[in-house]
Amino acid sequence: MADVCIALGANLGDRRANLRSALRAIKDVARIVAVSSLYETDAVTPDGSEGPPYYNAACRVETELEPLPLLGFLQSVERHIGRPPSRERWAPRPIDLDLLLYGDDIVETDDLTVPHPHMAERSFVLVPLAEIAAEILHPVLERTIAEIAREAGAAGVRRVAETGWESATG
C-alpha cells in the first residue's frame, strides 16, 4: 500500500459538491486516511486576470494502484464530474485533482511528475496538505511539508469549513 497525497480544487458549479463527489469516487480505489479543512482562494492566472474563487482541500489515502494508473483514475473522475478533456492550464474548472506525493517515490514521465513540481510554490496546496501530512518528508526538497508550508505562508488562503466538511450536510 502506498501513502498518497492528492490536492483537490474546484471553482465552477457547486464547488463543495464537486469536491465531495471526487472524494466519494476516490474511495473506489483507495482508503481515505485524512481530509483537510476546506479553504477558499482567489483564482490565480499568469496574466493577472480574475476567475471564480477556488475551494481547495487535500486528502491522504492508501492505495495499491501504481502512480500512472492512479493518475488515469483521477483524470476519469475529473471528466465524470464535468471537466473538459482539454487540460488547459489556468482555466476555470469544476474539479482539479493533482497527485502531489506517492510515498517517497520520485516519478518523472511525459504524463506525470511526482512530487508535483509546483506544490512548494502554492500556499493553496500546502496549507491543507500540512494539516494532514505535516510530517511527510518531500523526497526532492528533503524538508517536511510543515516546513515548506511555513516558508510559503498562508496569504490569501481562507478556511471556510473545518475537517469533516466532506461528510457534513449543507
**CATH number of the domain encompassing residue 95:** 3.30.70.560
Residue 84 counted as domain residue? yes
Enumerate residues 6+ apart whose C-beta is below 8 A from 122: 152
pLDDT on residue 21? 97
Residue 15 counted as domain residue? yes
pLDDT on residue 83? 85
Domain tally for the chain?
1
Residue 45 reports pLDDT greater than 80: no
pLDDT on residue 51? 80
Residue 70 reports pLDDT greater than 60: yes
User: How much of the chain, in percent, has pLDDT values that exceed 70?
Assistant: 92
Q: Which residue has better confidence, 153 or 88?
A: 153
Burial of 77 (0-12, 13-18, 19+ CB in 10 A): buried
Residue 170 counted as domain residue? no
Residue 167 counted as domain residue? no
Annotated catalytic residues are 83, 93, 96, 98
pLDDT band at 62 (very low <50, low <70, confident <90, very high): very high
C-alpha 30: how far from chain center: 15
Residue 169 reports pLDDT greater than 60: no
Residue 27 reports pLDDT greater than 70: yes
Candidate from 57-61, 91-95, 107-111, 115-119 with smallest mean pLDDT: 91-95
Q: What is the mean pLDDT of residues 46-66?
A: 89
pTM of the model: 0.94
Residue 168 counted as domain residue? no
Q: Which residue has better confidence, 142 or 91?
A: 142
Range of 61's domain?
2-161
Q: What is the mean pLDDT of residues 43-62?
A: 85
Candidate from 42-56, 61-75, 120-134 with smallest mean pLDDT: 42-56
Residue 170 reports pLDDT greater than 70: no
Question: Which three cell numbers, joined as nine digits, stand for 169?
Answer: 450536510
Residue 96 counted as domain residue? yes
Residue 166 counted as domain residue? no
CA dihedral of residues 62, 102, 125, 21 (deg, nearest 10):
-40
